[in-house]
Amino acid sequence: MTSKRSNMAGFLEAHPVFTLEDLRLVFSMAGGRGASDVLQHNKSMGRVAMIKEGLYYAVRPGHSIQNASVDPILVASKLVPDAVISFHTALDALGFAHSEFSTHYCSSNHYRPGMRFRHDHFRVVLTPERLRRKSQELFCTEKIERLGMKITVTGNERTLVECLERPKYCGGFEEMYRSLEKIPFLRPDVLLEYLELREQKNLYARVGFFLSQHRDEFQVEQTFLRRLAANVPSQPVYWSPARTAGVLVKPWNLIVPESVRDRLWEDR
């Protein structure tokens, strides 16, 4: 039992957020009954607490279940086995987020209902259909370390495209712009390859418009913008799904809210 306790202490130190499957893998206990027993024992001792069924957090010595710190990005990374941290949460994990958010996102091949833990909300968003169909779910993702754990997050280029695709998952246009502008570099070849995988002309338009506004910051060459412009929709498309009033911006055939075209928040 002493060995199990020692092993569990080391496990909790290395896994501030974990699933029962994580515990089973580390302890290599056939069928998982032993892992379940160890889990229940540590729960009864106040060393482990439940986030939801099958998902738990470690309670550090000197802390209680109520005041133990739980990193929401680690929670999001464990919501589903194939979780990829995405949208505003990716910007946060990569260090680019302009503001802190209480809603956290991951992408997955499988839908799961959202959940709430403490004051935070968590959402699982389906991985884009074309990536799933082409078995490219992990294209332009990277592993990063967070509190000693490895998590999968969308890389700079994919984060840019997916945020421009769904500003509502980034807190709206202003928060999205202010965050994306902190990305230190973009790889044009990766950006183009991701757009080709997605096969959506409206994404070329959004990316092209954004980069045309930030040519100096991202050192965007005119030839690259021309390649994007060659793939935009033949008819104007709205950036906002609500089809709210906006201005048509050429050559992107994109109807953009005036406040976004002029970046009015910069005047505040």
Q: Residues 17-37: pLDDT tens digits?
A: 999 999 888 776 544 457 888
82 lies in the same domain as 145 = yes
Report if residue 192 sits inside a domain.
no
pLDDT for the residue numbered 31: 47
Report if residue 193 sits inside a domain.
no
48 lies in the same domain as 103 = no
Last residue of a domain, one of 160, 185, 210: 185
125 lies in the same domain as 219 = no
Name the pTM for this structure: 0.93
pLDDT for the residue numbered 30: 46
What tens digit of pLDDT does each residue of 141-168 get?
A: 999 999 999 999 999 999 999 999 999 9
100 lies in the same domain as 161 = yes
Query: Domain count of the chain?
Result: 3
pLDDT for the residue numbered 33: 57
146: left (phi over 0), alpha (psi -120 to 50) or beta: beta
pLDDT for the residue numbered 74: 98
Report if residue 140 sits inside a domain.
yes
Last residue of a domain, one of 185, 210, 234: 185
* Domain, as residue range, for 205: 200-268
Low-confidence ranges of the chain (pLDDT < 50): 1-2, 30-32
Report if residue 250 sits inside a domain.
yes
pLDDT for the residue numbered 2: 45
Token code pair at residue 111? 């839908």
Last residue of a domain, one of 26, 58, 90: 58
**Could you tell me the CA-to-CA distances from 124 to 6, 112, 228, 246 in Å, in that order?**
35, 6, 30, 30
